[in-house]
Amino acid sequence: MTTIKFTKMHGLGNDFVILDYEEYIKTKKTPEELSKLLCDRKFSIGADGLIIVNPNTKNTDIGWIFYNSDGTIAQMCGNGMRCFAKYVYSKNYVNKKEFSVETKAGTIIPKILEDGNVRVNMSKPILTPNKIPAKVENNLNFEIKSLDRTFTANAISMGNPHCVIITDEDTKLLARKYGSDIEHNPIFPEKTNVEFIKIVSRNEIILDVWERGCGITLACGTGACASVTAAILNGLCDNKVKVNLPGGILTIEWEGTKENPQKDVYMSGSATFSFEGTINI
């Protein structure tokens, strides 16, 4: 039996177990095995995902290893990145408030703000169908069938695939009923995150999300970015949007347009320490 130290954090209720690299090595387990073990809410710590600090990078200040609770690898996670940024800064892995992080989605740049929140440059949205990946000719306003319904959807990648559906109905009920089925729709060969959004105004939306590999979560940072991008591309929102999630509020900024979409998306929001502890494995 091995005892390891861990930290629990959350971003708007989207929660994560964070391990230092030395603790991860001590377990002699793969990240897939560890994520399933540590994220189990009934028999272990419980979380939506596992984050392992990777200090062994060459071209960035720091790196991470990120796995969903079901043991699948995730290219990016916006809420996780805010938590990770606050963690590595507080633990002196980095000595500056703005730094570069190596992820499966490329280099991500978070910044610790004066109010304690974290602003993350989430890079540019990916809109080309085969790069999302999504088996559609046009990534905007295509039809997708799920159970007893046909929805109009938008496919966008923020380093991980998203299916954004704009609706006037109850987003919470739709996410719970249709999220799992759409996640596994063959249009998305790598599965997908699913967002149901309601437009409140040109500067505000309501969002409920079914996360790939997790299910219903209280917040999804990349989902908020994809949702605002979709709303802007459909002419429904301006360039700075308040996103109301079950776990709290994110602010998403994007200066892109249909004609010039190659602009970085910025996400700002909280990252909260829950507790630290040890666990026997």
- pLDDT computed for residue 95 by the predictor: 95
Tell me if residue 220 is catalytic. yes
Check 77, 83, 163, 225 and give the catalytic one. 77
Residue 129 CB-density burial (10 A; 0-12 exposed, 13-18 middle, 19+ buried): middle
Q: Which tens digits make up the pLDDT trace of 188-226?
A: 999 999 999 999 999 999 999 999 988 999 999 999 999
Share of the chain above pLDDT 90, in %: 98
129-263: CATH architecture: Roll (3.10)
pTM of the model: 0.89
- Cα separations (Å) of 17 from 20, 65, 110? 10, 12, 19
Q: Which tens digits make up the pLDDT trace of 23-49?
A: 999 999 999 999 999 999 999 999 999
| Cβ atoms 54, 21 nearer than 8 A | yes
Q: Which tens digits make up the pLDDT trace of 141-165?
A: 999 999 999 999 999 999 999 999 9
3-114+271-280: CATH architecture: Roll (3.10)
Residues of the chain with CATH 3.10.310.10: 3-114+271-280, 129-263
Check 39, 83, 220, 225 and give the catalytic one. 220
